[in-house]
A and B are shown apart, each in its own frame.
Chain A
Amino acid sequence: MDAFFRYWLRWPSFEVLMAQPGAWALCETLHFVGLCLLIGIVGLFDLRVLGLGSGLPPVALKRLLPWGVLGFALCAVTGALFVGGIGANLIGDNAYDVILMDSWLQWKLAFIALAGVNLAAYHLTGMSRAVDALDATGNAPVLAKVFAGASLCLWIGVIVFGRLIPQGL
């Protein structure tokens, strides 16, 4: 099983890609640009739900969300390249070992998963519909504010844990 994961996690050979001159720095830059888009758009929406910027209709604000999704996609793709191509940065390291041993990476992945659960709960509890129904100056239900606050805290946690990943290698 061990050998199976070691092989398949290495198979796309991101190492070759990430060993190109400048590839690592370029992916880091894209990771940061994506992070700004994600936090900028999602954070704006969360803060509106929490009550800042009253006068902004939440449903109209959602029109900006595709930019946040683009940011998340940039981060997910480059993040996978960092983990899969770790061997290009730390010669001989395998993605399998990094995932198993780097506790900061594990915290980061767990927080991203929790942000996903939080988003799913926001929709499943009907809060998404309740917020969409608000007018420009409407006040969101308390539960929606809890989800928005959790989203902000989780994403800030993701940034901190991400910055600590090198300490766990």
Chain B
Amino acid sequence: MVFFDWLEHSGLSMWIKESTSLWPYDILCLSAHAIGMAVLVGFSSAIALRVLGFAPGVPLAPMAPFFPVMYAGFWINAISGAGLFITYPVKAVTNPIFYLKMVGVVLAMVCIRRIKQQAFDAPVRADDRLAPARGQRPAVVLLVVWVVTITAGRLLAYKGIPAIEWVAAIGMAAVAALTGVLGYLLTRARGSRAPA
């Protein structure tokens, strides 16, 4: 904790939070973090939806060039996230939700790698215009993990909220409902696709 206390009062940390310019904190940390999130979560979710059987006319293999774009989003967020972290490190390391978010990010990156390995790197079938048989489990896990991680990230902006149980309850219900709807739509999407 001594280390985090030192970090919180280090020159870089003070510069980020006390600059009169919008650049160090609001643009290079906060806005960049939102843009990186949009790229990483957005593109990976779009690919997950395709893997789950939506838009079956889209061939999967040519989607591969979007993986480097996603990884760029990840690195934008790793760097802007580090900037946000050193601004108030003590608040972060004493908040359980921070660890939930970090675990979520790691899990999501593992899922993205699994999707890449199972649905892309595996030998492609002659007609890949069908939903791939593999990679569906990491795709479902990825979508759920992203909702949980975004919720956790949003809650990090608050400290000591009494309403947190309330939010958690709604969040869980939302995740459950979302999973249910996705599952339902998935079975429908798969039911309507051409037989392999």
Partners in one complex: yes
State whether B171 touches A26 (Cβ < 8 A).
yes
Specify the main secondary structure of chain B where it touches its partner: helix
As a 0/1 sequence over residues 146 to 164 of chain B, the CB contacts with chain A under 8 angstroms (1 = contact) are 1100110111011001111
Considering the chains assembled together, what is the distance between the CA atoms of A52 and B46 in angstroms?
15
Question: Which residues of A are in contact with B by a Cβ distance under 8 Å?
Answer: 21-22, 25-26, 28-29, 32-33, 35-41, 43-44, 47, 52-57, 59-61, 63-64, 67, 136, 156, 159-160, 162-164, 167
Task: Say if the beta carbon of B5 comes within 8 Å of chain A.
Answer: no
Q: A21-B163, A55-B59, A56-B58 are in contact. Are A36 and B154 (CB under 8 A)?
A: no
> Which residue in A25, A38, A44 is a CB contact (below 8 Å) of B163?
A25
Q: A39-B39, A67-B49 are in contact. Are A159 and B59 (CB under 8 A)?
A: no
As a 0/1 sequence over residues 1 to 35 of chain B, the CB contacts with chain A under 8 angstroms (1 = contact) are 00000000000000000000010001100110011
State whether A40 touches B42 (Cβ < 8 A).
yes
Q: A39-B42, A67-B49 are in contact. Are A160 and B31 (CB under 8 A)?
A: yes
Task: Say if the beta carbon of B179 comes within 8 Å of chain A.
Answer: no
Tally of B interface residues using CB under 8 Å: 47
| CB pairs A–B below 8 angstroms (15 shown) | A21-B162, A25-B163, A26-B171, A29-B151, A29-B154, A32-B154, A35-B38, A40-B44, A43-B43, A63-B57, A67-B46, A162-B34, A163-B34, A164-B27, A167-B26
State whether A160 touches B27 (Cβ < 8 A).
yes
Considering the chains assembled together, what is the distance between the CA atoms of A76 and B93 in angstroms?
34
Within 8 A of A (CB), among B94-124: none
CB distance from A147 to the nearest CB of B (A): 19
Which residues of chain A come closer than 8 Å to B58, judged between CB atoms? Answer: 56-57, 60-61, 63-64
Within 8 A of A (CB), among B35-67: 35, 37-39, 41-46, 49-50, 54-59, 61-63, 65-66
CB distance from A30 to the nearest CB of B (A): 8
Which residues of chain B come closer than 8 Å to A40, judged between CB atoms? Answer: 38, 41-46
State whether A25 touches B62 (Cβ < 8 A).
no
Q: A55-B59, A56-B62, A136-B62 are in contact. Are A36 and B31 (CB under 8 A)?
A: no
Q: A22-B166, A43-B38, A160-B31 are in contact. Are A37 and B62 (CB under 8 A)?
A: no
Which residues of chain B come closer than 8 Å to A167, judged between CB atoms? Answer: 22, 26
